[in-house]
Structure 1
Amino acid sequence: MAQSTQTAVLCTDLGFDWPDGSTVLDGFQLAVGPGRTGLIGLNGAGKSTLLRLIAGELTPTAGSVRVAGELGYLPQGLTLDTTLRVDEALGIRAAREALHAIESGDTDERHYDALGEDWDVEERARATLDRLGLDRLGLDRTTGELSGGEAVLLRLAALLLRRPDVLLLDEPTNNLDLAARERLYETVASWHGVMVIVSHDRELLRYVDQIADLRDGAVTWYGGDIAQYERTVAAQQETAERLVRAAEADVQRQKRDLSEARIRLERSASYGRKRSVTRNDPKIFAGKFKRQAQETAGRLQGMHTERLDEARQRLGAAEEAVRDDAEIRVDLPRTEVPAGRTVLSLVKVRLPYGVGADLELRGAERVALVGRNGSGKTTLLRTVAGELAPLAGEIDTPVPLRHLPQRLDLLDDSLSVVDNVKAFAPGAGDNAVRARLARFLFRGARAEQLAGTLSGGERFRATLAALLLADPAPQLLLLDEPTNNLDLASVRQLTEALAGYRGALVVASHDLPFLRGLGVTRWLELDGGLRPIDPM
């Protein structure tokens, strides 16, 4: 990537360790210039930690961070004080009060100091709220009525009003519905300063100018958006895998050459000994010939051994260039549902907030459940799963079902991955469980990890494995925002795992690329009731 000479964020020899001594970054270097940068990487690579270090929320254990100009930071998992007024959350309450005082005739100098040059503060605030779809919010109202997604947008509005030189966004589309995501995309697309975005949202990453891939404690830069990045990486991987195959062939060739050289030398030595005996050579000559033969054999064997070592080194280097973003490959025949079998029936079901639902699901349908934040998608899934009772109506689920909630709280943190899966399939033997877990990338010692020590992506994989390998096998699977907080590799792994699932699927999500990748057969929007829609 052609980096600009104007550096806005500079990390020099940056190091950071958690209190338990685990190292996140060591000798880390980063220089970010103007434009929109998408920061990606596997779960646990340190992306969010890096943003917190740049924002000053964490103190480095070594090295330094320098930011040119004012910085704005939108963290992950944002919570707002529900007693705040909207203008307080936007950071403009003091300026508004000063403006109103001046307009009412109070000429106290303190009001002019508080207002500064920001005479259009209210107009800018309302325009920013309108731009983010929050135009219904009055500046004097409290934030207690906001959904999680609206709270994120309000915090973003506060940052935009400050006009920062550098803006850091950490998974900003989590908890945003489709309409809110579109507004965020527009905001990112129109941004002209320095922006660093940590995200797994492929749609959002279409709007960046460059990709920074954080892997193994270092960043690799790729010009262009996520599509260009994926094309470049795919080409690199194809080349790397071709080099691995060539290096493997070379190792085999060198092994064969070494073996053949040993056989030739042994035959030559045997022939030399026989000739010496036949000619009745004096012992002094026989010893000399023997030493010369041994020296020659040693040189030849050393040459072939050296070539084999070099071939093995080339193979090791080639293998290191191949990414270890392993793929999940599972086949789940016990989850199969006959085409005409009813798996879910909702008849005049009524939920809180005036939500009603009628639905019949047959066979291995794949249903995408979409709708604005607060429309009741989570409540509907929890009701179908039997965790909540409907206010009225009938729900029938004649097949085994499992529900994957947003919170991922199904695992016992004090148990290992393998023991958690056994709890869902108590009749399965230890070897059978381990063999199945290996296909979810929990092999050997990884299956013995305590659930409480897993990274976000690992925890998701373990939870998914527990549900899909459960006994009885689920023939109806309910997923609630499954891609939240997953890195791009984990989203791909989730999609691969669900490709092997043969039952019916209902997925509540705002992640359109993910939903399209699942092969959805029916799209439903929850807006007071369920209605079919044609996806964009």
Structure 2
Amino acid sequence: MTHKTPQILINHLNYATASGKPLFQGLSLFLGNERTGIVGRNGIGKSSLLKLIAGELSPVSGSIQVQGTLGYCPQIFQPAETVTVSELLNVRQKIEALTRIENGSTNDADFLAVGDDWTLHGRVMQQLSAFGLAHLALDQPVHCLSGGEKTRLLLCRALNTDADYLILDEPTNNLDMDARRHLYQRISQWEKGMLIVSHDRVLLNLMQHIIELNTLGMTQYGGNFDHYQEQKALLQSAREHEAADARKTLAKTSAALQLARERAEQKRARGRRLFTTGKIDRLFANSKKGRSERTQGRMARQKESLTHIAEQRLEQARANIEITREIQLNLQESCIPNGKILLEIKELSFSYDKEQPVIHQFNLHLAGPERIALIGRNGSGKTTLVKLILGELEAEAGKIYLGTDHISYLDQNAASLDPELSILDNFLAVNPDATTLDAYAALATFLFRNTAAQRLVKHLSGGEKLRAELACTLLSRQPPRLLILDEPTNHLDLESLASVESALKDFQGAIIAISHDEKFLHNINITRLIYAPFTHT
């Protein structure tokens, strides 16, 4: 039997959301046996495309043909209450048979179920451990796990499947650095088809092909993410040059038409003067006038046709340019002296369970505009340390000295914003001394222009919420001297990531960041890494 190469063929796909918003119109795409990354703004339809391929959504028209078996790992997963870890990993029967044999069973059915797979339990636990799930019991119900644990469990299942094509939706969300590095290694070794939606630039650099979904449709790029950025920049530059040339052509055509009109008017004026002075008779004047009008009419039609062509060319050139905007800030007010002590932690200890301290005799010194990152596995105490600094938890021992009252805490949920209020009203609530005009100007700097500032926070995407929170925080009359970020990049698209990184580069205060995104930490100029567990240093 001939083995068929895994592939996905999408032909003239049309799909709209439940509200009627069209996401795909006539989309055609071929995906072969390679690693493909999908990028694009939030809301553009990336996750919907994966769901359509996986069969969770149905297109309005068009077709999707999948050759081979699919392994799908969605962002949000809600299993039935009875599904256990071993069931989700498709090893329940063998594990139970192994357990019965270990307990003395001599039943042939158990030995038949196990076959030669006597090391299965150890392999499964090793796979779980690689994703920080060694604490899970195989008979534990999946619905009791956290969202992050469910995601990691699905990844564990997907990467240990025999599927011909893997489909992963934002797989590095909720993964710590160790788990991410394990995922990177497994993906780099994957030799079958793979389709990934992600904003993780390290992961995207492992791809062999990038597809960008944008307001203009779809654009495909060969190579990894770095190559995609280079090619996109060249394409954008070429389109902008084309638009500039089209504008010049239109200007020249319009100028030529105007000049022709002026010359025609000059000839008509000269003819009128010759007639009034009696140098030509009425018959000759009418004949000359008729020829002139016919000539001018023909020339005008030609010029207008050229103008129409030039206008169409300019319109098409403009339509080919995707509008992107950058945040540019002047945050001089956030500047602090190099020697200014902002945070001093001495012999800090804390535990939820006295048998297992989370933080033990920990010391930390932060002065001036230094930028540090708290690094460690999920559950290793990073957020606990932040809560101690903010005074939300009380230390068992040790001291925390804060050298400033101007501290802001931002997380992926934008908890400081009132979801029932508009962005504008949130800004005014945080900055009661600001005028409405001040608020509009500040929010426009963060790309919330005009009516966009009046949108309710509860209707914003994750990236928009963080951008709004940064606007309310950084552009206040008393901006923070110390900014604490807790996993701010989860669920952000690449454009939002770039906006956030740009804003944080302009910030001149100190930063404490919790993040597993190494590229993000590099781009915001983190200078020191503090590793958990936080013990005596």
TM-score with structure 2 length normalisation? 0.88
Deviations 1:128-160 (A, max 9, x none): 346556567665678799776555333222233
Query: Structure 1 residues 262 and 81, CA, compared in 2 at 3 Å: closer, same or farther?
Result: same
Q: In the alignment, what sits opposite 2:389?
A: 384
Could you tell me which residue of structure 2 aligns to residue 187 of structure 1?
Answer: 186
Write the distance in 2 (CA, Å) between the matches of 1:117 and 1:51.
Answer: 36
1:9-48 per-residue CA deviation (whole Å, 9 max, x = no partner) reads 2333434333333333343333321121111111111111
CA shift, 1:343, in A, is 2.6
Query: In structure 2, how many angstroms separate the alpha carbons of the residues matched to 1:257 and 1:469?
Result: 50
Distance change (3 Å), C-alpha of 1:134 and 1:447: closer
Distance 2:413 2:490 in 1: 10
* Partners of 1:462 and 1:197 in 2: CA distance: 28
Distance 1:387 1:258, change over 3 A: farther
- The answer to whether structure 1 residue 369 and structure 2 residue 368 are counterparts is no
**What is the CA deviation profile of residues 341-386 of structure 1, one whole-angstrom value per residue up to 9, with x for unaligned ones?**
2333333333334314433322222222222211222222233334
In the alignment, is residue 453 of structure 1 matched against residue 459 of structure 2? yes
Deviations 1:49-79 (A, max 9, x none): 2222222333434444333333222222457
1:434 aligned partner:
440
> Using a 3 Å threshold, how does the CA distance of structure 1 residues 429 and 136 change in structure 2: closer, same or farther?
closer
Pair 1:337–1:258, CA change in 2 (3 A): farther
Question: Shift of residue 408 of structure 1?
Answer: 2.0
Match for residue 480 of structure 1 among 478, 486, 493: 486
Instruction: Report the alpha carbon displacement of residue 185 of structure 1 after superposing the two structures with TM.
Output: 0.4
SS at 1:421 equivalent: helix
**3-state secondary structure, aligned to 1:162:** coil
Asked if structure 1 preserves the Cα contact closer than 8 Å seen for 2:78 and 2:143, the reply is: no
Secondary structure of 2:275's aligned partner? helix
Question: Can you give the 5+ residue segments of structure 1 that lack an aligned partner in the other structure?
Answer: 532-536
C-alpha root-mean-square deviation of aligned residues, in Å?
Answer: 3.0
- SS of the equivalent of 2:205 reads helix
1:171: Cα distance to partner? 1.0
Q: Cα deviations across residues 75-94 of structure 1 (Å, max 9, x unaligned)? A: 22457899976434423122
Residues in 1 aligned to 2:281 and 2:273: alpha-carbon distance in whole angstroms: 14
Q: Which residue of 2 aligns with 1:318?
A: 317
Aligned twin of 1:211: 210
Q: Which residue of 1 aligns with 2:11?
A: 12
- Is the contact between residue 416 and residue 451 of structure 1 (CA under 8 Å) also seen in structure 2? yes
User: Quick one: distance in 2 between partners of 1:490 and 1:528?
Assistant: 32
Partners of 1:491 and 1:310 in 2: CA distance: 40
Say if 2:74 and 2:169, in contact at 8 Å, map to a contact too.
yes
Larger displacement relative to structure 2 (476-485 or 416-425): 416-425
- Structure 1 letter corresponding to 2:448: F
Alpha-carbon distance change, 368 to 530 in structure 1, aligned in 2, over 3 angstroms: farther
- Cα shift readout 1:227-284 (whole Å, capped 9, x = no counterpart): 1111111111221222222222223222322332222222222122112222343333
Please tell me whether residue 355 in structure 1 is matched to residue 355 in structure 2.
no
Contact between 1:25 and 1:217, CA under 8 Å: does it hold in 2?
A: no
Paired with 1:11 and 1:115, the residues of 2 have a C-alpha distance of 40
Distance 2:43 2:469 in 1: 17
Contact 1:349–1:395 (8 Å) recurs in 2: no
Aligned equivalents of 2:119, 2:530: Cα separation in 1 = 43
Tell me whether 204-213 or 333-342 shows the greater mean CA deviation: 333-342
Task: Output the CA distance in 1 between the equivalents of 2:269 and 2:536.
Answer: 88
Corresponding position: 1:420 with 2:426:
yes
Alignment map for 1:29-108 (pairs within 5 Å): 29-77=28-76, 86-101=85-100, 104-107=104-107
Q: What is the deviation of 1:117?
A: 8.0
1:465 aligns with 2:478: no
Q: Is the 8 A contact 2:327 2:502 kept in 1?
A: yes
Secondary structure of the equivalent of 2:23? strand
Match of 1:534 in 2: none
Segment of structure 1 superposing worse, 398-407 or 299-308: 299-308
**Residues 163 and 438 of structure 1, relative CA distance in 2, 3 Å threshold:** same
Q: 1:212 to 1:149 in 2, by over 3 A?
A: same
Letter matched to residue 380 of structure 1: L
Q: Which amino acid aligns with 2:359?
A: V
Deviates further, 70-79 or 160-169: 70-79
SS in 2 for 1:410: coil
Report the Cα offset of residue 99 of structure 1: 4.2
Q: Which amino acid aligns with 1:385?
A: L
Letter in 2 for 1:65: I
Deviation at 1:191, TM superposition (A): 0.9
Partner SS state of residue 516, structure 1: helix
Q: Residues 99 and 360 from structure 1, CA distance in 2 versus in 1: closer, same or farther, beyond 3 angstroms?
A: closer
Which residue of the partner structure matches residue 400 of structure 2? 394
The match for 1:155 is: 154
More deviation in 404-413 or 181-190? 404-413
User: Secondary structure of the equivalent of 1:12?
Assistant: strand
The runs of 5 or more residues in structure 2 that have no matched partner are: 352-356
For residues 418-439 of structure 1, the C-alpha deviation after alignment (integer angstroms, 9 at most, x for no partner) is: 2222222221112222122222
Aligned length: 526
- Name the SS of the counterpart of 1:203 in structure 2: helix
CA distance in 2, matches of 1:39, 1:6: 21
The CA deviation at 1:113 is 7.5
Q: Residues 158 and 274 of structure 1: is their aligned pair in 2 closer, same or farther, counting only changes over 3 Å? A: same
Partner in structure 1 of residue 354 of structure 2 = none
Q: What per-residue deviation string (whole Å, max 9, x for no partner) do you get for residues 465-504 of structure 1? A: 1222234222221111111111112111111111221222
Question: What residue identity is the alignment partner of 1:358?
Answer: N
Cα–Cα, structure 1 residues 84 and 311, in superposed 2: closer, same or farther, change >3 Å? same
The 2-side partners of 1:268 and 1:490 are apart by 60
Q: Distance in 2 between matches of 1:24 and 1:162?
A: 31
SS at match of 2:277: helix
**Counterpart-to-counterpart distance in 1, 2:281 and 2:314:** 49
2:499: which partner in 1?
493
Query: What is the rounded CA distance, in whole Å, between the counterparts of 2:294 and 2:403 in structure 1?
Result: 81
- Residue 343 of structure 1 contacts residue 399 of structure 1 at CA under 8 Å; is this kept in 2? no
